[in-house]
């Protein structure tokens, strides 16, 4: 299953972005997240949401940590069905442009 969606970067609480000095000596920014399945689909078909995942002692009351929505990527069928093949117009040699 592949989830697709978007994240609203302006909704990320700045205090949740952590600076980490990595082993290679480069400082990088990280954000702990959680992907949660919704109880019901949203009106736009979203089945999951992305939330900042602050530690319990970092949580602030009244702050909305939801930063994005996701839905299951439905692959499009590119192989024609048997009915589509049978109902397709046949090409006569006389109809060819060359």
Where are the chain's structural domains? 3-95
- pLDDT for 94: 61
- pLDDT tens digit sequence for 36-86: 999 999 998 999 999 998 888 888 888 889 999 999 888 777 777 788 777
Exposed/middle/buried for residue 67 (C-beta within 10 Å: 0-12, 13-18, 19+):
buried
What predicted TM-score, i.e. pTM, was given to this entire model?
Answer: 0.65
Length of the chain: 98
For tokens 């048997």, the residue is: 82
Identify whether the C-beta of residue 83 lies closer than 8 Å to the C-beta of residue 61.
no
CA-nearest of 18, 96, 8 to 49 is 8
């Amino acid at each position: 299953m592949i989830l697709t969606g978007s994240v609203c970067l302006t909704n990320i609480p700045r205090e949740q972005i952590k600076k980490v000095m990595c082993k290679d000596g480069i400082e990088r920014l990280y954000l702990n997240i959680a992907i949660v399945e919704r109880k019901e689909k949203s009106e736009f078909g979203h089945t999951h949401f992305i939330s900042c995942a602050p530690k319990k002692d970092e949580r602030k009351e009244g702050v909305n940590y939801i930063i994005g929505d996701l839905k299951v990527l439905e692959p499009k069928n590119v192989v024609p069905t048997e009915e589509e093949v049978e109902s397709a117009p046949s090409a006569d040699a006389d109809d060819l442009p060359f």
